[in-house]
A and B are shown apart, each in its own frame.
Chain A
Amino acid sequence: DTEVTQTPKHLVMGMTNKKSLKCEQHMGHRAMYWYKQKAKKPPELMFVYSYEKLSINESVPSRFSPECPNSSLLNLHLHALQPEDSALYLCASSPPGVDEQYFGPGTRLTVT
């Protein structure tokens, strides 16, 4: 298995909803990442997990809550989002000691 998978592909949620994004990889990678990408912009780093521990939080609002239950899974819990949070959310992973990252296809999130 040489890919990063993300579910769902699309998500529409209201500002009072609670939802979760899921990311999975079975490549033995020990670093996993969440990015937010707005249209016509590069991805912006949100969180980094290294060996299942949160190592970087890029001052992301608390309405985004990451979780890494095991070395293969990464979740992003969403609560009380704003319309400006609508974006493509990308997950990535990288092997130990290597800087290159492998990206999933993303979840297109729309907040109404």
Chain B
Amino acid sequence: AQSVTQLDSQVPVFEEAPVELRCNYSSSVSVYLFWYVQYPNQGLQLLLKYLSGSTLVKGINGFEAEFNKSQTSFHLRKPSVHISDTAEYFCAGSSASKIIFGSGTRLSIRP
């Protein structure tokens, strides 16, 4: 089955600490992978994407992700988070003209 799995439904982190949001994809999902962020009461914003090439992808707002084919993972990282990073983060992969979303990870930042 086509699937994208986000292993953590919630991740609490202290401000200025590093964070990693985990994502694994099934091999049947195309290796076009994305991370989207959704701030409260807003739509989804594309953070970064992996289409091909370098496995380390840099996105907006200081986020980056690493594509790991052997582990079928695409984890999202930020070295130092801010209160403004509080949001829902969705990992996604494309398959047959559709985007398959993970269940989402809520990142909450503690001052």
Contact = CB atoms under 8 A, between A and B. Distances in A.
Contacts of A90: 43-44
A69 interface: no
Given A45-B99, A50-B97, A105 B43 contact: yes
A48 B97 contact: yes
Contact of B104 (A41, A45, A50, A106): A41
Interface stretch (A59-67, A73-81, A96-104): A96-104
Interface string A50-61: 100001100000
B22 to A, nearest CB: 16
Interface of B: 30, 32, 34, 36, 41-46, 49, 51, 88, 90, 94, 97-99, 101-104, 106
Q: Which of A4, A45, A56, A99 has the most CB of B within 10 A?
A: A99
Contacts of B102: 42
22 contacts: A6-B43, A31-B97, A41-B103, A41-B104, A42-B102, A42-B103, A43-B101, A45-B99, A48-B98, A56-B97, A56-B98, A90-B44, A99-B51, A99-B97, A100-B32, A100-B46, A100-B49, A101-B99, A103-B36, A103-B44, A105-B42, A106-B42
B59 to A, nearest CB: 12
Contacts of A105: 42-43
Interface in A15-63: 31, 40-43, 45, 48, 50, 55-56
Contacts of A45: 98-99
B45 A103 contact: yes
8 smallest CB-CB distances across A and B, nearest first, come from A42-B101, A99-B94, A103-B44, A103-B43, A105-B43, A99-B32, A106-B43, A104-B43
A10 B43 CA distance: 13
Nearest to B30: A99
